[in-house]
Amino acid sequence: MARLRALQQGRGRREQGLLLLEGTHLLQEVLRLGLEPELVLATPHWSEVHGPLLAALPAGTRQQPVGEAVLAAVATTEHPDGVVLTLPLAALPAAGPAPQFVLALDQLQDPGNLGTLLRTALAAGAEQVWLGGGADPLQPKVLRASAGAALALPLLRDPGREELAERLRGARAAGQQLVATVVAGGETSGVAAVQPYWQLDWSLPTVLLLGNEGAGLDGALAELASHRVTIPHSAAVESLNVAVAAGPLLLERWRQRLSRG
């Protein structure tokens, strides 16, 4: 069990080349995506209730019945629902060339926010997510919060801002528009004037760049933007939570596509 508990940490995942997934929903997502788990541990009660799911496992998947105490020792959740599984890192989707819609995140720290952003990005048709440091997108908390979206999106994680900045420069040189969000009334400092997000043409190849929860978007990264947009809102709050703000921004591209038929 120590080998499985080690998967709760990034080092263990890298050394073993495996992810730890917890819960029935993530197992369902793995099967829906056509991925092949390496190992499934389940309590007798869970197996009795979810026989069809076990029957749907690929032939090469190892199955191991365990007691509730053993499962609790492996899982990170306080009350696991009866099943955990491991998935090879090699099974995750690879990034393709020339993505048309990318979400780039500057040192996002909160696993819940990151998981929510990944789920929204997948729903909005994002093709890749670029991460400049911050929370590990493959940790169990993010995987649960993303409801499986982290398993379906190509995730490119750079060590920090400098590496992310280099990736952003390459995208802009390739003709993609880099879109940064600012608080209404923020400085434009040499870039195009700030406009409400719905006035931007999101059908063009786009990288949406968002900052972290506390400090917001790093100034040096913001200077790389070709466009700046804002989400108009009541002055009763200074700014929106990054996961909340990402919703209308990411889905605006989808809305414009539908409105244009």
**CATH code of residue 140:** 3.40.1280.10
Domain end point (choices 33, 56, 91): 91
Residue 61 lies in a domain: yes
- Same domain for 237 and 125, yes or no, is yes
Question: Would 71 be classed as within a structural domain?
Answer: yes
**pLDDT, tens digit, 9 for 90 and up, residues 159-197:** 889 999 999 999 999 999 999 988 655 444 445 678 999
pLDDT tens, 130-142? Answer: 999 999 999 999 9
The Cα 137–Cα 152 span in angstroms is 12
**Total H helices, total E strands in the chain:** 11, 11
CA angle 55, 153, 170 (to 5 degrees): 160
261 residues of the chain, pLDDT tens digit each: 889 999 999 999 999 999 999 999 999 999 999 999 999 999 999 999 999 999 999 999 999 999 999 999 999 988 899 999 999 999 999 998 889 999 999 999 999 999 999 999 999 999 999 999 999 999 999 999 999 999 999 999 998 899 999 999 999 999 999 999 886 554 444 456 789 999 999 999 999 999 887 778 888 999 999 999 998 888 787 777 788 889 999 999 999 999 987
Contact assessment for residue 151 and residue 199, using Cβ atoms and an 8 Å cutoff: no
Q: Are residues 192 and 228 in the same domain?
A: yes
**Distance of CA 15 to CAs 6, 134, 231, Å?**
9, 20, 42
Number of domains in the chain: 2
Do the beta carbons of residue 19 and residue 143 sit within 8 Å? yes
Which H helix or E strand runs over 197?
A: none
Q: Which of 91, 117, 147 lies at the terminal end of a domain, its last residue? A: 91
The rounded Cα 238 to chain-centroid distance in angstroms is 26
96, part of any domain: no
Which amino acid belongs to residue 231?
A: I
Domain hosting 61: range is 2-91
Within a domain: 247: yes
**Tokens for 254?**
């989808």
At 237, the amino acid letter reads V
pTM (two decimals)? 0.91
CA dihedral sign of residues 150, 154, 159, 165? negative
Q: Which residue is listed with tokens 């190892």?
A: 62
3 state DSSP class of 77:
coil
Domain boundary among 91, 123, 145: 91
Same domain, 28 and 126: no
